Amino acid sequence: MDLPVNVSAADKVKPQKFDYLLILDLEGKVEILEFPVMMIDAQSMEFIDSFHRFVRPTAMNEQRLREYIEGKYGKFGVDRGNWDLKTKVPEQCKVSKIKLPTYFMEWINVKDIYLNFYRRRATGMMTMMRELQMPIVGSHHLGIDDSKNIARVVQRMLAEGAVMQITAKRQSSTGDVNFLFKDRIR
């Protein structure tokens, strides 16, 4: 698999704090059903590797089935900008009876970086791609394709001079989340 880098704006590239960026876009309404990850080199912007698994739900009882039917993200009011790592991963760890891994204690929300870099609000991948005039690859809401498209957006932002930085940190595995950007997607 290849995510070609557009080097036309490469003269704007800024040094990054990270060597690699892992881009994920989880799919699942009640439980995580798809876990796709794209890895790109933060300096060269090149695709390095990917990971993709469909996940068998473990706790799909009658109540959880009703929650699933209510809507993809459950009740209204969920912080959609950080849903994957703020909300869904800790919930899935609880359902799966595993401790939240430490590498899920901080993350970069691409939408927050996009807002602060371009000074334009983007509610999701499709908005970012439309504004950047980038064609979508694959099928929207298929996690691996969405992750590829988000990785392409990140590559473009890096090429245009964006600096990737942590946008949120969790205090403890059950604690509150501190959002580090004043201007962020809510």
Contact predicate 90/100, CB 8 Å: yes
52 classed as catalytic: no
Residue 115: both structure tokens together: 């807002």
| Amino acid symbol at 69 | I
27 classed as catalytic: yes
For the chain, strand residue ranges (E) read 20-24, 34-41, 47-54, 106-107, 168-170, 177-179
* CA 73 to the chain's CA centroid: 15
Phi, psi torsion values for 170, nearest 5 degrees: -90, 135
| Amino acid symbol at 34 | E
Please pick, among 70, 131, 141, 160, the residue that the annotation labels catalytic.
141
Q: Burial level of 32, CB count in 10 A (0-12/13-18/19+)?
A: buried
Contact predicate 55/44, CB 8 Å: no
Please pick, among 27, 46, 52, 62, the residue that the annotation labels catalytic.
27
Just list the catalytic residues.
27, 141
